[in-house]
Amino acid sequence: MPGRLTLGRLHQEILGCRRCLEAGLLPRAVPILPAPIPSRIVLVGQAPGRVEEDAGRPFSGRAGRQLFRWLAEAGFGDEESARRTVYLTSITKCYPGPALSGSGDRRPGPREVELCRGHLEQQLALLRPWLILAVGQMAAERFLGPRAMHRTVGRVFSSSGVELALAQGRPARGWPLVMPLPHPSGASRWLNLAEHRGLLAQALAVLRRLAAPDPG
């Protein structure tokens, strides 16, 4: 029953999901999930990669190592500390396969996103996060609609997509707060520009301030 759903039970449901396989969209169904930690900081990426599928753990590959370096810079400690603090999930839960171009992973299609939508919505409903880290263009669009990354990275938005002017401490309204980050994959060229790297540095500084324990 929905009223009695727990995070652990939801994980079991997601791990048993075969929707995209039955729809002929994927050759196999291997949902990838984090440990069921009840964190109120949720990081949402695009989809698992091949390394994640093999390891059975989110953000296990090279892009994950870069992501954890960013989180360390923002004050979350080493990788294992970050995994205990941040709930790591994605728009779709299975590896979509390689991109047709041969560079990077294929972006999940609209039908895959729709079939997986309920899983993410249930995760968010159970966790009730105060902060959502939307990693990459696809995740940012899921929460903020279509906007250029250079207009979102380094800024914080309300759940309705309104940019928030940050004063001391966490904003009291607009939860969950949404904070976009660029995709950490080497296949992404967004960070090749110096001004974009500056926006990332700004974002990590803001994240460090937001996620710091409240004084007293």
Positive or negative CA dihedral for 86, 90, 93, 99?
A: negative
Question: Measured between alpha carbons, how far is residue 113 from residues 25, 75, 76, 153, 177 in Å?
Answer: 11, 32, 29, 23, 22
pLDDT at 174: 67
pLDDT of residue 216 exceeding 50? no
Q: How large is the average pLDDT for residues 73-85?
A: 97
pLDDT in tens, 108-159: 999 999 999 999 999 999 999 999 999 999 999 999 999 999 999 999 999 9
In the chain, the percentage of residues whose pLDDT exceeds 90 is 84
Residues 6+ apart with CB under 8 A from 33: 11, 14, 15, 58, 89, 93
Positive or negative CA dihedral for 130, 134, 139, 143?
A: positive
pLDDT band at 179 (very low <50, low <70, confident <90, very high): very high
Report residue 145: phi and psi, to 5°: 80, 180
Domain coordinates of the chain in residue numbers?
Answer: 2-211
Strands (E), the chain: 41-45, 87-90, 131-135, 177-181
pLDDT of residue 213 exceeding 60? yes
Q: Between residues 189 and 96, which one has the greater pLDDT? A: 96
Q: Between residues 2 and 40, which one has the greater pLDDT? A: 40
* Predicted model pTM: 0.93
Q: What is the mean pLDDT of the chain?
A: 92
Give CA–CA dist 201/74, Å, rounded: 9
pLDDT of residue 187 exceeding 80? no
Strand bridging mode 131-135 / 177-181: parallel
Give residue for tokens 């059975």.
56
pLDDT in tens, 3-58: 589 999 999 999 999 999 999 999 999 999 999 999 999 999 999 999 999 999 99
Q: How large is the average pLDDT for residues 69-87?
A: 97
Residues 6+ apart with CB under 8 A from 97: 26, 27, 105, 106
Select the CATH number that applies to the domain covering 2-211 from these four: 3.50.50.60, 3.40.470.10, 1.20.140.10, 3.40.50.300.
3.40.470.10
